[in-house]
Structure 1
Amino acid sequence: MSVLEDTKILLGELISFPTVSSDSNLDMIKHLADRLSACGVEVEIWHNETGTKANLFATLGPKRDGGIVLSGHSDVVPVTDQDWSSDPFEMEERDGKWYGRGTCDMKGFIAAAVAMAPHYAQLDLQRPVHFAFTYDEEVGCFGARALADTLREKDINPAVAIIGEPTSMRIIEGHKGCYEYTTHFIGLEGHGSGPDRGVNAVEYAVRYVSRLLELKMDLQQRAPANSRFEPPWTTINTGALVGGVAHNVIPGKARVEWEMRPVQKSDADYVKDELHKFCANTLIPAMQAVHPDAAIETEVIGEVDGLEPMDDNKARDLVMELTGANGTDVAPFGTEAGIFQDLGMSVVVCGPGSIEQAHKPDEYVSEDQMAQCLDMLGRLSAKLI
């Protein structure tokens, strides 16, 4: 059986596990662990706090620093209210395309990497190759952050990571981060006829949004020289402002849902520091002058670092050599890559399928894209011996 045919069979098996982020991924992780263990890969499974989900980290070759990580996330987005032409959790082939939820985002890469494991196992490996499959990427990269913590604790130090998100096999060496927050305002309700006797949570939320808009403009001046992103600066978006119950009631509660997409981590630190000072020095004292229990609390929904382009990037140079590409790109979408970069690795994003197919009904990956991915992974063999 060819490695492409084996990959296709394995991908069909992975698609049959409905690993929507709200559900467990344990059955799929066990299936992958069994496949890898069968060819001599040393597999570790690290569960989350509830035991309902797990990361898989597996290693072939010598136990030393400097290995290469092949990484993908196991979870997929829901199919609810999407109009599919076939069962999204039963892979179907039509006209050279493999359809199913997760085929390109991103079980296709996982299947290709695992299908290559028996080949790597036959080599006299001088450099370890690691397989890292995570949970909950789609809802905040929680699995990758837990994986990073475990790698630090165990002093495991790979040098290079290839994140197999769907890039149409283009090499992505940079993308913005994604930081999401909900800021809660706790004021004091009262009758609308006496606004000075209450603390209007909505009005303070509006002042907070006004500061966000000022920072939004400031960030345009902080854009790095020659930034390749579009737009080239860190962005802020106010997604929702919710509060109040009636025209004649001073609202006691409000919330602002907002996000920023940093091009550099220093921008995120700047925004958070400025907001903290504005709340601590201006808004909260004014609120508590009327009601001592008034407060502003910011809930972190997720803070996923971007992948910052680096002049010295061994992963980029390696994958350019493996694929024959003569250029790289940056991407508007987020991945787990920044988490691996923060561990000190050189990182690129490169995988089969198009991001244009991800999250949509009738998601697919083409057989040609899978063949290109397997060709890249096959050429990796020479870098492991």
Structure 2
Amino acid sequence: MSAEGMLSALVAFRSVVGTRNGALIDYIRDYLASYDIASAVISGPEGDRFNLFATIGPKNVPGYILSGHIDVVPANETGWASDPFRLRNVEDRLIGRGAVDMKGFVAAVLSSVPELAALELQQPIHIALSYDEEAGCRGVPHLIEKLPTLCAPPLGCIVGEPSGLKPVLRHKGKAAIRIKAEGVAGHSSRPDLGQNAIHALLPALKAVADEAANQEKSGPRDPHFAPPYSTLQIGVISGGEALNIIPSHAEAEFEARAVPGLDPLALLQGALAEVEASEALAAEVIASYPALSLDEDHPLAGLAAELSGQALVEAVSYGTEAGLFQAAGVPSIVCGPGDISRAHKPEEYITVDELNDAQAMVLRLGRRLAAGAASGETGRAL
């Protein structure tokens, strides 16, 4: 199947973040099985969402992971010219939800399988597909936890998030929390008879705003990023019914983005401490993943630059599962087709050339690993 044909098949599955994805996983597993490639399906705690891990080549030899997520954001925006889940080719733009973020990379990998399977790889290529990345990389930790039982320690991981097929060395880590406040409703003329839920949130709000100012003023710097310091913000706040009613419920969502070396969740500890100190508050961690930081002289950086034919990029502003793989001891880099600016928008697209270039990169990796034994390089970074 061509890369475009595979992308069309993948886009047709409405694998929206936070919803079941079993049908798509079954499709991919059956496709791989048709080339005698077995898949491990790793369930998450939700019970209706699954990761998939498959190996082409010897499992007991160190190799490389090609990682991507198969969930997409909802397609409820106005501006779609037709069904977002039916791929359209308009002047070599392949338009559909997830076309660039990031079923395009997944399609490039899967459409390469027939040739990869015929190469008799001396070092393996692992395919790692995860769910609910768009909700803060919720699925992939369950896959990473199983890695020691699935393969030999990998030499590296290439995460195919759209980067213009340029290898990206760094991104910030992210944590997000939701804090809910419960109060007692009543007439605003008698605040002594009620409990104001919005007021209960104020110490947590202040803690986040203060920490944001602290990081901007005196937090650690990393010149690879803009801005070069860790950031925090209060992104969503809601509560109350009317001005003359004491609000009985309120909630807010907070985000921290941390430079490498800082735990993003630790930046929110001030707000979480306020939760611990108040019976009116409860907190939930929405997302948390670490930063990515790979040295320019790491063998994986050189390999990715060679495979992609593109120069290294020092840093990007978005986050990926690469930080989680790196935290688990797997050197990681981001390198995928298309432009991230097209993601999460109506008429999302990847071009035919971008898709084919990504497939060519995957096949170059396969041919490199098939040639490894002849050059005596099997079992170490190429």
Aligned mate of 1:349, from 334, 338, 346: 334
Aligned mate of 1:325, from 310, 323, 326: 310
Deviates most, 181-190 or 87-96? 181-190
Corresponding residue for 1:168? 164
Is the 1:188–1:198 Cα contact (8 Å) retained in structure 2?
Answer: yes
Corresponding residue for 2:141? 145
Aligned residue pairs, count: 370
1:162, distance to aligned residue in structure 2 (A)? 0.8
2:92 aligned with 1:92: no
Instruction: Report the Cα distance in structure 1 between the residues aligned to 2:266 and 2:22, rounded to whole angstroms.
Output: 39
Q: What does the per-residue CA deviation read over 1:260-288, in whole Å, with 9 as the maximum and x for residues that have no partner?
A: 111235252542333344555xxx3xx6x
1:303, distance to aligned residue in structure 2 (A)? 1.4
Aligned mate of 2:99, from 103, 106, 113: 103
2:29 aligned with 1:33: yes
Runs of 4+ in 1 over 6 A off after TM superposition: none
Corresponding residue for 1:290? none
Q: 1:128 to 1:153 in 2, by over 3 A?
A: closer
Q: 1:247 to 1:79 in 2, by over 3 A?
A: closer
2:47 aligned with 1:43: no
User: Partner amino acid for 2:352?
Assistant: E
Is the 1:26–1:52 Cα contact (8 Å) retained in structure 2?
Answer: yes
Q: What does the per-residue CA deviation read over 1:236-278, in whole Å, with 9 as the maximum and x for residues that have no partner?
A: 1112333344545544443222111112352525423333445
RMSD: 2.5
SS in 1 for 2:262: helix
Q: What does the per-residue CA deviation read over 1:126-167, in whole Å, with 9 as the maximum and x for residues that have no partner?
A: 211101111111122221122112225657532211111111
| Identity between Structure 1 and Structure 2 (%) | 35
> Where does the alignment leave 5 or more consecutive residues of structure 2 unmatched?
371-382
Is the 1:234–1:267 Cα contact (8 Å) retained in structure 2?
Answer: no
- Map 1:129-208; keep pairs closer than 5 Å: 129-152=125-148, 157-188=153-184, 192=188, 195=191, 199-208=195-204
> Where does the alignment leave 5 or more consecutive residues of structure 1 unmatched?
288-293
Q: What does the per-residue CA deviation read over 1:300-348, in whole Å, with 9 as the maximum and x for residues that have no partner?
A: 1111323234455332221012123233231111222112112111111
Is the 1:170–1:329 Cα contact (8 Å) retained in structure 2?
Answer: no
SS in 2 for 1:331: coil
1:55, distance to aligned residue in structure 2 (A)? 1.2
2:258 aligned with 1:262: yes
Instruction: Report the Cα distance in structure 2 between the residues aligned to 1:18 and 1:222, rounded to whole angstroms.
Output: 45
SS in 1 for 2:102: helix
Taking structure 2 as the reference length, what is the TM-score of the superposition? Answer: 0.88
Q: 1:122 to 1:377 in 2, by over 3 A?
A: same
User: Partner amino acid for 1:53?
Assistant: R
Is the 1:183–1:255 Cα contact (8 Å) retained in structure 2?
Answer: yes
2:242 aligned with 1:238: no
Aligned mate of 1:211, from 196, 207, 225: 207
Instruction: Report the Cα distance in structure 2 between the residues aligned to 1:229 and 1:377, rounded to whole angstroms.
Output: 29
